[in-house]
Amino acid sequence: MYMNGYRCFACSAIQTADYEGFLCPVCNGNLDITYDYEAVAEKIGDGFLQGSRDLFRFAALLPLKQPRPRFPLRVGGTPLYPARRLGQLAGMHNLYLKDDTLNPSASLKDRASAVTIARALDTGAETVSVASTGNAGSSLACLAAATGLAAVVFVPAKAPVAKLTQMLAFGARVLAVQGSYDDAYDLCLAASDEFGWFNRSTGYNAFTREGKKTCAYEIWQDLGGRVPDRVVVSTGDGNTLSAIWKGWCDLKAVGLIDRLPKIDCVQSEASAAISETVRQIRSDDGLQVDWSTLRVREVKASTLADSISVDRPRDGLAAVKAVIESGGEAVTVADREILAAIPEMARAAGVFPEPAAAAPWAGLKQMIRQQQVASDEHVVCIVSGSGLKDIQNAAKVIGEPQLIEPTLEALLKRTDKA
């Protein structure tokens, strides 16, 4: 294992790899896992990036004791699609969709769950827990079922029914919290402490970022070693965005690339804590930010894109840092733009996103309109969760089936075309 410790995002305090806590012992900040990049760089010559299509092929840059754990489901290795027709709708020539709906539980969260479960197995844990808006819970339930661990999921009682169905089908203990995601989060923390469960919650468990960062490695591989100009990421807690940034930074640190993409943060106007914080920093002309004192905003989130409905981003600092360091944009879109992006993506690219996963396309169109992105840039939108997870919201914008008697005459009488 090339992991050599942890560094605090806020105060930069360093811990060794055998540290057993989850947060910084100095300031309670979130931790970033660090590696001996020089040693990894030497190993890369041996072609370690080749091999199976799942994310464990990147073992040299994962914090796992077993170099290549036998994992029963294939996580990662999802396709990167050139999306020419979709791109043309906004005059883009080089648009790609990274289709992470094709993971075992149909969201990008499986990357985080795979690596946290591998870590839980390394530590001998038997029960894993998580607070979730829905996807992290369905993902943990799925991969815990596949590996024989017990899973406990704390989820807002109002989570989309398909996500609750997934969790229950996979046999998790589902605690539907009468409150918000933030309430579920705090209860999960307290309960995991009390019962000694391995808590996979986003923005608390540093290992989630390590799983999700593999999404960047795969984009790089599928582009044949090319670095895109931008990666556009739907953002709630900010963990996914900071992970995608870390993936590119890792590749640079081990000498595989020599430039980095911009990472664009897209949030709903009705849940925009991270974007608002980035804008505030930029309007203060704050290129010299003191990360140890920066407070990420809190909002009262109300977006219908449930996966990114977050009052208090649990990995906000890491995400704000990533957007600022990469020079990306911090975009907010209206919920109606998010909804409109669903059928556009489905109809022009054949990829059906849940609302949160449609947000990057809605955000990219806005950036093009505002001339923040040029039409010839190479842009990757991450499609982070499947449309089948929230058909109620999709139903608002996709139209209705045509009810018809079973005769050709009835069909011929219809004036509307196919």
**Structure-token pair, residue 22:** 């989850």
Beta carbon nearer to ligand PLP, 80 or 130:
130
* 109 near ligand PLP, rule: CB under 6 A: yes
Bridge partners (DSSP) listed for residue 418: none
Question: Among 142, 339, 357, 358, which residue interacts with ligand PLP (rule: CB under 6 A)?
Answer: 357
Residue 261 is a binding residue for ligand PLP (CB under 6 A): no
The strand ranges marked E within 218-271 are: 230-234, 262-268
Of 2, 8, 97, 358, the one binding Zn ion (CB under 5 A) is 8
Query: CA 286 → CA 170, 276, 297, 322, distances in Å?
Result: 47, 14, 16, 14
294 makes contact with Zn ion (CB under 5 A): no
Closest contact distance (angstroms) between CB of 360 and ligand PLP is 9
Residue 107 near which of Zn ion, ligand PLP, none (CB within 5-8 Å, type-dependent): ligand PLP
How many DSSP H helices and E strands does the chain contain? Answer: 15, 13
Neighbours of 191 (CB within 10 A): 16
What is the distance between the alpha carbons of residues 315 and 305, in angstroms, rounded to a whole number?
18
Give yes or no for residue 235 binding ligand PLP (CB under 6 A).
yes
Q: For 274-352, list the strands marked E by DSSP.
A: 330-333
Measured CA to CA, the distance from residue 163 to residue 387 in angstroms comes to 11
11 touches Zn ion (CB under 5 A) = yes
By CB under 6 A, residue 133 contacts ligand PLP: yes
Query: Given the rule CB under 5 A, which of 19-27, 137-145, 181-189, 247-255 is the region that contacts Zn ion?
Result: 19-27
> How near is the Cβ of 93 to ligand PLP at its closest, in Å?
26
Q: Is 236 in the site for ligand PLP (CB under 6 A)?
A: yes
**What b/e sequence results for 2-22 when a residue is b if at least 16 CB atoms lie within 10 Å of its CB, and e otherwise?**
bbebbbbbbeeeebebeeeeb
d(CA 99, CA 107): 9
Phi, psi (degrees; rounded to nearest 5) at 296: -75, 140
Least distance in angstroms from the C-beta of 365 to ligand PLP: 18
The tokens for 163 are 């996500």
Lookup: tokens for 127: 């029960």
Rule CB under 5 A: which of 356-395 touch Zn ion? Answer: none
DSSP state of 46: T
- For ligand PLP, which is the closer residue by CB, 270 or 357? 357
CB under 6 A: which stretch of 91-99, 186-194, 231-239, 256-264 binds ligand PLP? 231-239
Number of residues engaging Zn ion in binding (CB under 5 A): 8
Q: How far is the CB of 318 from Zn ion (least distance, A)?
A: 12
CB 266 within 8 A of CB 233: yes
Cβ(298)–Cβ(273) below 8 Å: yes
The answer to whether the CB of 155 falls within 8 A of the CB of 180 is no
Residue of 54, 264, 329, 354 that binds ligand PLP (CB under 6 A):
354
Q: Determine, following the binding rule CB under 5 A, whether residue 27 of this chain makes contact with Zn ion.
A: yes
Report the distance separating Cα 312 and Cα 300, nearest Å. Answer: 8
- 15, 240, 326, 366: residue in contact with ligand PLP (rule CB under 6 A): 240
Could you give the CA distance from residue 123 to residue 375 in angstroms, rounded to a whole number?
A: 48
Contacted entry of Zn ion, ligand PLP, none for residue 117, CB cut-off 5 to 8 Å set by kind: none
Q: Strands across the sheet with 378-383, in order?
A: 80-82, 94-99, 378-383, 230-234, 262-268, 330-333
For ligand PLP, the binding residues in 358-417 under the rule CB under 6 A are 384-385
Which DSSP category does 144 fall into? H
Binding flag, residue 267, ligand PLP (CB under 6 A) = no
Query: Should residue 239 be labelled a site residue for ligand PLP when binding is judged by CB under 6 A?
Result: yes
Q: Does 202 bind ligand PLP (CB under 6 A)?
A: yes
Out of ligand PLP, Zn ion, none, what residue 135 binds, judged by CB under 5 to 8 A for its kind, is: ligand PLP
CB of 187 to Zn ion, least distance (A): 25
| Residue 237 makes contact with ligand PLP by CB under 6 A | yes
Selection from 37, 41, 70 nearest residue 56 by Cα: 70
Spatial contact of 197 and 127, defined as CB atoms under 8 Å apart: yes
Q: Which does 189 bind (CB under 5 to 8 A by kind): ligand PLP, Zn ion, none?
A: none
Binding partner of 354, given Zn ion, ligand PLP, none, CB within 5-8 angstroms per partner class: ligand PLP
Nearest one of 338, 387, 308 to 133, comparing CA atoms: 308
Binding residues among 276-315 for ligand PLP as defined by CB under 6 A: 307-308
Residues forming contacts to ligand PLP in the complex (CB under 6 A) are 107, 109, 133, 135-136, 202, 234-241, 307-308, 354, 356-357, 384-385
Residues forming contacts to Zn ion in the complex (CB under 5 A) are 8, 10-11, 13, 24, 26-27, 29
